[in-house]
Each structure stands twice: as C-alpha cells, then as structure tokens.
Amino acid sequence: MTEQTLVLVKPDGVRRNLIGEVIARIERKGYSIVDLKFVQPNESLLREHYEEHVDKPFFPSLLEFMMSGPMVAIRVEGDRVVEGFRSLAGETNPTTAAPGTIRGDLGRDWGTAAIENVVHGSDSTLSAERELAIWFK
Ligand code: CMP
C-alpha cells in the first residue's frame, strides 16, 4: 500500500555531510522523495514532534542535540515505506544497530546523553501523518 513517512536527517547527519548518503539509500530502495527542506527547529516544534518523550529523563539532552544545527526534513513515499524506512534506519542505538543499516553503518556512539543516530523515521502510519503535518505545515 502506498503511504508516506517523515524522515529527518538529524544535526549530526548534516554536520557529517551524510545528507546525500541517506537520500541515496532511500532512492536505491525504490522510495520516492516528494518534498524536502532544511529546517532549524525551535523548542515548541520539537516538543510537539517528541510529545511521547517530553517527560523522559533524556529529553533535555535530546532537545539540545536536535537544536544544535539545521536538519533536513524529507517526505518519502512508497509501498509500506513507514516500516521499510525503519528497517533501512536500523535500531535506535548505533552501537547495536545491524551493519547494512543507516545507523549501523554510519551512526556513532559518542557516549553523550543524547543518542546521535543520524536519522529519524516515523514509527507508524498514524505517527507519520501527525509528524508530516508538524514539519510540513
Ligand atoms: P528517534 O528515532 O528520533 O526517536 C526518539 C529519539 O530519542 C531517538 O531517536 C534518540 O535520538 C533519542 N533516544 C531514544 N532513547 C534514548 C535514550 N535511552 N537515551 C538517549 N536518547 C534516546
């Protein structure tokens, strides 16, 4: 079923010149990029985006990390792309993410409070709809 998801190239990915690498992996998999922009998010946008994490102990460092530089927001379309991009991204922690995935191949574990894992991908079709409305207002 054709659907859309939100992919973010996080500030670490932009700083490390990995935008093209992330886009290439999305396109090689057969998904289409249908909208894309640079964003410097403010705190209220991130609180909305991460509403399920605002009370977690790591939230302040996550906020600091996500505001540390520009990000690229990408609207990606394809068959089962929500699940498919999660699979391309690999698990949250780059140390244990499988080789072959974006986080497994490119993510670095700096041992800092926020996990810097290069990309974000929506975790369900419902989240994708909610998040796309936030980032592509
Ligand atoms: P993301 O897929 O964008 O969703 C939530 C983010 O919070 C996650 O990527 C990580 O960057 C961060 N995160 C999740 N769990 C932890 C954790 N236990 N400690 C620090 N950061 C985390």
- pLDDT tens for 49-78 read 999 999 999 999 999 999 999 999 999 999
Per domain, the residue ranges of the chain are 2-135
Residue whose CA is closest, atom 7 of ligand 1? 62
What average pLDDT does this structure show over 82-109?
96
Mutate to test the pocket of ligand 1, among 58, 59, 61, 71 (most ligand atoms within 8 A of CB): 58
Summarize the annotated binding site for ATP as residue ranges. Answer: 10, 58, 86, 92, 103, 117
pTM score of the predicted model: 0.96
CATH of 2-135, one of 3.40.50.10210, 3.30.70.141, 3.40.50.1100, 3.30.930.10: 3.30.70.141
23 residue type, one letter? I
Distances (CA, A) of 117 to 37, 65, 84, 106: 19, 11, 17, 8
**Which of the residues are catalytic?**
120
What average pLDDT does this structure show over 5-12?
98
Q: What pLDDT is attached to residue 109?
A: 84
